Amino acid sequence: MQRLQINNTLAEIPASFNEFTGDQLLFLARCIMHQDAEFEVRLKTAMYCAGLKFGKQQSECILPDGTTAVLGNTDIWFIASSMNFIYNADGQFQSKLFLNRIPKIEFTDGEAWHGPADALGNLRWDEFCLTQTHYGRFLITHEEKYLHELAAVLYRPHSGADPKAADFSGDVRERLNALITEERSKKLIENQPPEFLLTVLWFYAGCLEFINNEFPGVLSDPKKTEDSTEGRSTGNSTDPFDSMMELTDVLCNEDVTSVEKVRSSNLYDVLRRLKNAKEKQKKQQEHIDKIKNKR
Instruction: Give pLDDT tens digits for 75-115.
Output: 999 999 999 999 998 989 988 999 999 999 999 999 999 99
| pLDDT value, residue 224 | 52
What is the secondary structure of the chain as a DSSP string?
A: -EEEEETTEEEEE-SSGGG--HHHHHHHHHHHHTT--HHHHHHHHHHHHHT-EE-SSTTEEE-TTS-EEE--HHHHHHHHHTTGGGB-TTS-B-----S-S--EEE-TTS-EEE-PPGGGTT-BHHHHHHHHHHHHHHHHH--HHHHHHHHHHH-EEB----TTSTT--S--BPPP-GGGHHHHHHHHHHHS-HHHHHHHHHHHHHHHHHHHHHSTTTSPPS---S-EETTEE-TT---HHHHHHHHHHHHHTT-GGGHHHHHTSBHHHHHHHHHHHHHHHHHHHHHHHHHHHH-
| pLDDT value, residue 150 | 97
Asked if residue 53 and residue 129 are part of one domain, the reply reads no
Read off the pLDDT of each residue in 27-37 and give the average, rounded to a whole number.
94
What's this model's pTM, rounded to 2 decimal places?
Answer: 0.87
Asked if residue 126 and residue 52 are part of one domain, the reply reads no
| pLDDT value, residue 26 | 97
Asked if residue 134 and residue 198 are part of one domain, the reply reads yes
Asked if residue 265 and residue 125 are part of one domain, the reply reads yes
Asked if residue 265 and residue 126 are part of one domain, the reply reads yes
The answer to whether residue 107 is domain-embedded is no
Asked if residue 219 and residue 160 are part of one domain, the reply reads yes
Quick one: what percent of the chain has pLDDT higher than 70?
93
The answer to whether residue 32 is domain-embedded is yes
**Given a cut of 70, is residue 237 above it in pLDDT?**
no
The answer to whether residue 292 is domain-embedded is no
The answer to whether residue 96 is domain-embedded is no
- Reported as a pLDDT band with limits 50, 70 and 90, residue 56 is confident
Asked if residue 268 and residue 133 are part of one domain, the reply reads yes
Asked if residue 268 and residue 145 are part of one domain, the reply reads yes
The answer to whether residue 140 is domain-embedded is yes
Q: Which of 67, 86, 105 is the last residue of a domain?
A: 86
Q: Look at the chain and report how many structural domains it folds into.
A: 2
Asked if residue 160 and residue 33 are part of one domain, the reply reads no
The answer to whether residue 224 is domain-embedded is yes
The answer to whether residue 52 is domain-embedded is yes
Asked if residue 61 and residue 161 are part of one domain, the reply reads no
The answer to whether residue 105 is domain-embedded is no
Tell me which of 161 and 156 has the higher pLDDT.
Answer: 156
Read off the pLDDT of each residue in 28-37 and give the average, rounded to a whole number.
94
The residue range of the domain holding 201 is: 121-272
Asked if residue 130 and residue 233 are part of one domain, the reply reads yes
